[in-house]
Amino acid sequence: MQNSLDKIVNDIKANWSGLNSNTTVTVRELLSELTQSPPHEPWLASIMRERLASKTLYQDLEYGFMLLVHAEEKGTYRPPHDHGAGWVFYAVQSGEMEMTTYKPITTASGETHLVSRGTDTLKAGDCRVFLPGDIHDTRCLTDNFVQYRLTSCDFKEEKRSGRMIQYLSEV
């Protein structure tokens, strides 16, 4: 019998068609479904027991996307950033995370700064997608927080190339 992780990964692969509305809508639905996996399945029980900061659950060699899982401590903050040419889904397995989105605004005098578009709280079962250039930060609000992150590519390359930007001066 196929476990829920294998089923979701296979469904994502079957529906992956690059950056378009069909992919983003379908993958959001599938990752939300993944957050409803039975906690007794060995792969999920292991995640909840180990609580690793980062673990790759699947890397697709054909399409390049990666499914990772992250456990964070309450109060962990990741300053405003984008993902360069990449795009990402965040799906909450347990706990709560606050996400603020931003838009860079250039004033008449030529100075650029980030303006908040608003803050949302993601809870277990919620999934959010950020497209290339979308700026956001994250803050873990609870203990026992675990999230899945599906990235369109290996973000290490986005960082190395300088395409992934952190807006540290805005913190």
Start-to-end C-alpha separation, the chain: 48
CB 148 within 8 A of CB 44: no
pLDDT tops 70 at residue 1: no
- Using DSSP's 3-state secondary structure scheme, residue 2 falls into coil
- Could you tell me if residue 118 is left (phi over 0), alpha (psi between -120 and 50 degrees) or otherwise beta? left
CB 147 within 8 A of CB 48: no
Q: How many CB atoms lie within 10 A of CB 67?
A: 22
119-129 mean pLDDT: 97
pLDDT at 171: 55
Q: How confident is the model at residue 134 (pLDDT cuts 50, 70, 90)?
A: very high
Residue 95's nearest CA partner among 129, 49, 145 is 145
Here the CATH number for the domain that contains residue 89 is: 2.60.120.10
Cα separation, 166 vs 164, whole angstroms: 7
Cα separation, 157 vs 130, whole angstroms: 18
The tokens for 59 are 């890397």
pLDDT digits (tens, 9 = 90+) for 75-118: 999 999 988 889 999 999 999 999 999 999 999 999 989 999 99
Q: Which residues contact 162 (CB under 8 A, 6 or more apart)?
A: none
Cα separation, 36 vs 50, whole angstroms: 19
CB 154 within 8 A of CB 63: no
**How many structural domains comprise the chain?**
1
Q: Please tell me what DSSP assigns to residue 70.
A: E
Domain that holds residue 12: 4-170
pLDDT digits (tens, 9 = 90+) for 59-75: 999 999 999 999 999 99
Q: How confident is the model at residue 168 (pLDDT cuts 50, 70, 90)?
A: confident
Residue 147's nearest CA partner among 76, 60, 41 is 76
